Amino acid sequence: MLTNSFSQNVGIGLTNPTRAKLEVSGAVGRTSGVFGGDGAGVSFQRDVPAIGFNQYFDNTSRYISNGQAFVIWLNTLTGSLNYDIFKTAGTANAIGTPERIMTIAYNGNVALNTAEANASFFVAHSPSFPTIRFRGTTYSSEFYRNVAGFDTHITGGKAGSNLYIGDVGTGNVYLGGTAAHRVGVNQNASNGLDIRQVGGRGFVLVEPTTFHNWEFVTIKNLTEPGSDFYVMYNGDNKGNFFHIDGTYSPISDRRLKKNIEPLKSVLPGVMQLKPVAYKMKYGPDTSKTIGFIAQQVKTIFPQLVEHIQDTNTGFDGLNELYTMNYDGIAPLLIKAINEQQEKISLLKEKNNALKKRIEAIEKSIIQ
Q: What is the mean pLDDT of the chain?
A: 88
DSSP line for 278-345: E--SSSS----EEE--HHHHHTT-GGGEEEEE-S-SSSTT-SEEEEE-GGGHHHHHHHHHHHHHHHHH
Q: Please state whether 38 falls in left (phi above 0), alpha (psi between -120 and 50) or beta.
A: alpha
* Domain parsing of the chain, residue ranges: 2-124, 183-260, 263-367
Give the pLDDT band of residue 40 (cuts 50, 70, 90): confident
Q: Which of 2-16, 46-60, 98-112, 314-328 has the lowest mean pLDDT?
A: 2-16
Sheet harboring 151-155: ordered strands across? 132-135, 140-146, 151-155
Assigned fold of 263-367: Arc Repressor Mutant, subunit A (1.10.10)
Looking at residue 39, its pLDDT comes to: 74
* E strand intervals along 13-161: 22-24, 31-35, 42-45, 50-53, 55-57, 61-63, 67-74, 81-90, 99-104, 110-112, 121-123, 132-135, 140-146, 151-155
Radius of gyration of the chain (CA): 43
β-bridge mates for residue 103, sequence order: 82, 111
Give the pLDDT band of residue 3 (cuts 50, 70, 90): low
Tell me if 275 sits within 8 A of 292, measured CB to CB: yes
Half-sphere exposure at residue 12, Cβ-oriented, CA atoms within 13 angstroms: 8
Looking at residue 291, its pLDDT comes to: 95
Enter the pTM of the model: 0.60
What burial letters (b/e) apply to 232-244, b meaning 16+ CB within 10 Å? beeeebeebeebe
Q: Report the distance separating Cα 16 and Cα 269, nearest Å.
A: 115
Half-sphere exposure at residue 258, Cβ-oriented, CA atoms within 13 angstroms: 0
Give the pLDDT band of residue 137 (cuts 50, 70, 90): confident
Q: Report the distance separating Cα 238 and Cα 224, nearest Å.
A: 20
Looking at residue 5, its pLDDT comes to: 58
Looking at residue 1, its pLDDT comes to: 61
Q: How big is the chain, counted in residues?
A: 367
Looking at residue 141, its pLDDT comes to: 86
Give the pLDDT band of residue 18 (cuts 50, 70, 90): confident
Backbone phi and psi for residue 354, each to the nearest 5 degrees, phi listed first: -65, -40
Looking at residue 136, its pLDDT comes to: 83
Looking at residue 314, its pLDDT comes to: 76
Alpha-carbon dihedral of residues 276, 282, 285, 288, nearest 10 degrees? 10
Q: pLDDT tens digit string along 192-209?
A: 888 888 888 889 999 999
Q: Residue 125 pLDDT > 90, yes or no?
A: no
Q: Residue 329 pLDDT > 90, yes or no?
A: yes
Looking at residue 331, its pLDDT comes to: 94
